[in-house]
Amino acid sequence: MRVREDVLAGLNDAQREAALAVRGPVAILAGAGTGKTTTITHRIAHQVESGAFPASQILAVTFTDKAAGELKKRLAALGVAGVEARTFHSAALAQLSRLWSSHTSESLPDVLDHKAPLIASLANALPPPHKFLPRRELAGEIEWAKNRMIPPARYLAERGDHEPPIPAELMLRIYEGYERRKGTMGRLDFEDMLALALRLFDAHPDAVHEVRARFHAFTVDEFQDVNPLQAALLDRWLGERDDLCVVGDDYQTIYTFTGASPEHLLGFVRRFPQAKVVRLEENYRSSPEVLDVANRLAPRLGGFRKTLRATRPSGPVPVARAVPDETAEFGAIIQAIRRLRDEEAVPLEEIAVLYRINARSEPLEEAFADAGIPYQVRDGAFLRRPGPRAVLQRLKRSADGRSIVEAIARVTDLLGYDPDASPDADEEVTRQSDLSRMRSLASEFVSVHPHDDLAAFVAELARRFSTEHSARGVNLLTYHRAKGLEFEAVFLPRLVDGELPFRSGRAKADPEEERRLLYVGITRARRYLFLTWPTDGRARPSPFLDELELAPSQPSRRSATSVRAVTVGRGGPLFDRLREWRRKRAQTDGVPAYVVFHDRTLAEIAERKPRDWADLAAIAGVGPTKLERYADEVLAVVAAI
Ligand code: ATP
Ligand code: MG
């Protein structure tokens, strides 16, 4: 086998072992930031370079378009072209487009964008209390069943202790009706794509043979989040072969609501006893301080125990702080971001603010726009989300001389705005909150510009939310979308009970999964981590803060305004000299700098200026071994200034 060293350069031994295993089943089971995605791109490059498989025979699958794009980009950087990198859905759709008509002599149905329109009239026929339920929740229930491959005929028998949003018999009627209509219209929904591909392959063995003739080696990233439909499809692609590499971290399972289960990952070795299993332990992403916070959640994450070991240099201590209210929280975030940008030279694109549901982006967008800080919203910014978009479209059609507030009230009412709604589905929570915000924006606008017209209001909205430039600026995104990504600085605001873990209406998110979401959030940060929770309102701090041993504190004046600790913010000539000494000493000893002393220890030494061993020993982070090893040198540096 040819081994092209440049394709393997920079990998550690375990990563290299995985990359060299170009044939047969391989599982990489490892924690966040240990280089799983890095390893699979190198492995694929090596599969091609070593001649094990031509690029055109390799299919790499991930879960988001962004991740698939990233894989392609990284492969291109390694000099590999022609590997297919797709999401499960886009792979299934590509295969259906190529094979469906020729094998079934039917034309492939069009894909349906939304389920709600098909459900609307069925839902209107429901008895009173149920007919007002948002369509989105009924659609969500249909997705629940379809992701688990439960057709209407088996819905009542197989839903187990899962609670539908309306009585199960009524729900079944909606589900059947929806499927019937969709069939009559000759349409497909998102879940059908995978199911239809499965049907095609099972009914037409020639079709699956074509896929198998095309693809010989498969790689799946984030395998902990594979659901039964996706796993079944992968089985069809693979057939009796075993050239499959799966990669994942059971601690980061965050899609169980779609039927995903880490069992596929954990059971891989049972299924392929000959599999090579690689475990990666060194984390290359985050500072020891960030990992320390993440590791505190580990004992409660279930699955098999992994502790992340730091390889990166020490960084600033993460900030965890109660703040009086949302305004103070945003103020603190913006102030911290300015410091990061101006004093630490962190590019805005390297900063992320994560939130639990899309609705939370709107006040952040406004705060950023007001502060003149560019931002980008993954997953749809306020004005591009269903609620506000529908309002703007209708406003255009009904500009009929009403006052702005009346016009907005009328349109939002038409769109089903309900101030007392307490919907179960995240999307509906977001839509209701967005409609409510449109109304308050209108009132605010009128109180400031009493004589302006509707067009001026729409222009003001555009201006107000205009700092969103494509792909530039601070990233605003949900925890779910942040999976697999990394940023220099990560902000996790609003850590209150009910938000994380999330609760709305009757729906209470599974706390185990919510804890994993927080784990995903924390492990996105390279150096700067900032956790805050407002203490006004009725919400209590998130119970996870206790688990992180970040005792919920009362907000102080300082906590609202000062975000000093988020930046290194340490300076002074003595601190600089101590760092210089540490650099040399670490180099001589052949260890990373933080092994000698953490930044915070050096900062404390610089502040306290110890004169003897006893002074030095009183400083946190200076134990007997360190004293023995470094005291004389450190005291000399201090004395020399
Ligand atoms: P996640 O679980 O969040 O998906 P991951 O295990 O896929 O993380 P990667 O995204 O591949 O981790 O890598 C995390 C970071 O570590 C990246 O910045 C990557 O470039 C870097 N990295 C990976 N392996 C090494 C290595 N051997 N030496 C130095 N840096 C590395
Ligand atoms: Mg990854």
Please tell me the residue having the least CA distance from ligand 1 atom 8: 33
Q: How far apart are CA 219 and CA 245, in angstroms?
A: 5
* DSSP assignments along 436-447, one per residue: HHHHHHHHHHHH
CATH fold for the domain made of 113-188: Arc Repressor Mutant, subunit A (1.10.10)
Q: How far apart are CA 534 and CA 517, in angstroms?
A: 20
From the alpha carbon of 32, which atom of ligand 1 is closest?
2
Q: Do the bridges between strand 507-508 and strand 503-504 make them parallel or antiparallel, or are there none, so unpaired?
A: antiparallel
Average pLDDT of the chain to the nearest whole number: 86
From the alpha carbon of 38, which atom of ligand 1 is closest?
11
Tokens of 156: 């009542």
Of the ligands numbered here, which is closest to the C-alpha atom of 523? 1
Q: How far apart are CA 309 and CA 441, in angstroms?
A: 48
Residues whose CB is less than 8 angstroms from the CB of residue 510 and which lie 6 or more positions away in sequence, other chains included: 256, 257, 501
Residues whose CB is less than 8 angstroms from the CB of residue 287 and which lie 6 or more positions away in sequence, other chains included: 310, 312, 313, 314, 315, 316, 526, 527
Neighbours of ion ligand 2 (CB under 5 A): 36-37, 484
- Mutation to probe ligand 1, out of 285, 306, 523 (largest number of atoms < 8 A from CB): 285
Please tell me the residue having the least CA distance from ligand 1 atom 14: 33
Q: How far apart are CA 221 and CA 200, in angstroms?
A: 25
pLDDT tens for 592-640 read: 777 788 877 888 898 888 888 878 887 877 877 788 889 899 999 999 8
DSSP H helices in 384-529: 386-397, 404-414, 426-448, 454-464, 479-482, 511-522
Q: Is the pLDDT of residue 466 over 70?
A: no
Tokens of 24: 């047969």
% residues pLDDT > 70 (the chain): 93
End-to-end CA distance of the chain: 60
Q: Quick check: do 5-98+193-280 and 286-381+466-564 share a fold?
A: yes
CATH fold for the domain made of 5-98+193-280: Rossmann fold (3.40.50)
Distance 432 CA to ligand 2 centre (A): 34
Closest CA to 426 of 175, 134, 149: 134
- Mutation to probe ligand 1, out of 245, 284, 486 (largest number of atoms < 8 A from CB): 284
Distance 71 CA to ligand 2 centre (A): 10
Residues whose CB is less than 8 angstroms from the CB of residue 630 and which lie 6 or more positions away in sequence, other chains included: 585, 596, 597
* 391 vs 561: which has the higher pLDDT: 391
Distance 424 CA to ligand 2 centre (A): 31
Q: What is the dihedral of CA 595, 601, 606, 609, to 10 degrees?
A: -100
pLDDT tens for 138-150 read: 888 898 888 888 8
Q: Is the pLDDT of residue 23 over 90?
A: yes
> Which residue in the block uniquely carries the two structure tokens 């749809």?
380
Closest CA to 317 of 519, 555, 579, 530: 530
| Of 3-17, 257-271, 453-467, minimum mean pLDDT range | 453-467
Q: How far apart are CA 110 and CA 195, in angstroms?
A: 15
pLDDT tens for 49-82 read: 999 999 999 999 998 888 888 899 999 999 899 9
Q: Is the pLDDT of residue 17 over 90?
A: yes
Please list the residues that pair with 61 across neighbouring strands. 86, 220
Please list the residues that pair with 492 across neighbouring strands. 531
Q: How far apart are CA 214 and CA 280, in angstroms?
A: 32
Please tell me the residue having the least CA distance from ligand 1 atom 29: 284
* DSSP assignments along 557-626, one per residue: HHHHH--GGGS----SHHHHHHHHHHHHHHHHHTS-HHHH--HHHHHHHHHH---SHHHHHTSTT--HHH
CATH fold for the domain made of 286-381+466-564: Rossmann fold (3.40.50)
Q: Do the bridges between strand 525-534 and strand 487-492 make them parallel or antiparallel, or are there none, so unpaired?
A: parallel
Q: Where are the domains positioned within the chain? A: 5-98+193-280, 113-188, 286-381+466-564, 382-464, 570-641
Cα angle 498, 530, 307 (rounded to 5 degrees) comes to: 85
The residue count for the chain:
641
* DSSP assignments along 283-316, one per residue: ESSS-HHHHHHHHHHGGGS-SS---PEE-SPP-P
* DSSP assignments along 71-135, one per residue: HHHHHHHTT----EEEEHHHHHHHHHHHHHHHHHSSPPPEEPS-SHHHHHHHHHTS-HHHHTS-H
> Which residue in the block uniquely carries the two structure tokens 């913006």?
334
The pLDDT of residue 529: 97
The pLDDT of residue 7: 81
Q: Is the pLDDT of residue 564 over 70?
A: no
Backbone angles phi, psi at 109, to 5 degrees: -60, 155
- Mutation to probe ligand 1, out of 12, 29, 38 (largest number of atoms < 8 A from CB): 38
* DSSP assignments along 181-248, one per residue: HHHHHTEE-HHHHHHHHHHHHHH-HHHHHHHHHH--EEEESSGGG--HHHHHHHHHHHTT---EEEEE
Q: How does residue 246 score in pLDDT terms, banded at 50, 70 and 90? A: very high
Taking a C-beta distance cutoff of 8 angstroms, is the pair 277, 527 a contact?
A: no
Q: How does residue 2 score in pLDDT terms, banded at 50, 70 and 90? A: low
> Which residue in the block uniquely carries the two structure tokens 């081994």?
3
Please tell me the residue having the least CA distance from ligand 1 atom 26: 11
The pLDDT of residue 281: 87
Q: How does residue 470 score in pLDDT terms, banded at 50, 70 and 90? A: low
Q: How far apart are CA 627 and CA 617, in angstroms?
A: 7
Distance 601 CA to ligand 1 centre (A): 28
Q: How far apart are CA 582 and CA 585, in angstroms?
A: 5
Closest CA to 174 of 217, 133, 206, 205: 133
Q: How does residue 400 score in pLDDT terms, banded at 50, 70 and 90? A: low
Q: Is the pLDDT of residue 467 over 70?
A: no
Of the ligands numbered here, which is closest to the C-alpha atom of 526? 1
- For 358-364, what is the mean pLDDT? 86
> Which residues does ligand 1 sit against, CB inside 6 Å?
10-12, 15, 30, 32-38, 249, 252, 284-285, 484, 486, 523
Distance 77 CA to ligand 2 centre (A): 17
Taking a C-beta distance cutoff of 8 angstroms, is the pair 571, 526 a contact?
A: no
Taking a C-beta distance cutoff of 8 angstroms, is the pair 306, 31 a contact?
A: yes
- For 378-397, what is the mean pLDDT? 80
Q: How far apart are CA 470 and CA 252, in angstroms?
A: 28
From the alpha carbon of 31, which atom of ligand 1 is closest?
2
Q: In b/e form, how buried is each residue of 129-138, taking b as 16+ CB within 10 angstroms?
A: ebeebbbbbb
pLDDT tens for 568-579 read: 345 678 988 998
Please tell me the residue having the least CA distance from ligand 1 atom 30: 284
* DSSP assignments along 514-574, one per residue: HHHHHHHHHTTEEEEEEEEEE-SSSPPBPHHHHHTT-------HHHHH--GGGS----SHH
SS3 351: strand
Taking a C-beta distance cutoff of 8 angstroms, is the pair 578, 346 a contact?
A: no
Please tell me the residue having the least CA distance from ligand 1 atom 13: 35
Distance 287 CA to ligand 1 centre (A): 13
Taking a C-beta distance cutoff of 8 angstroms, is the pair 491, 354 a contact?
A: yes
Distance 599 CA to ligand 1 centre (A): 24
Q: Per CATH, is 570-641 categorized as 1.10.3470.10?
A: no
Cα angle 148, 149, 150 (rounded to 5 degrees) comes to: 90
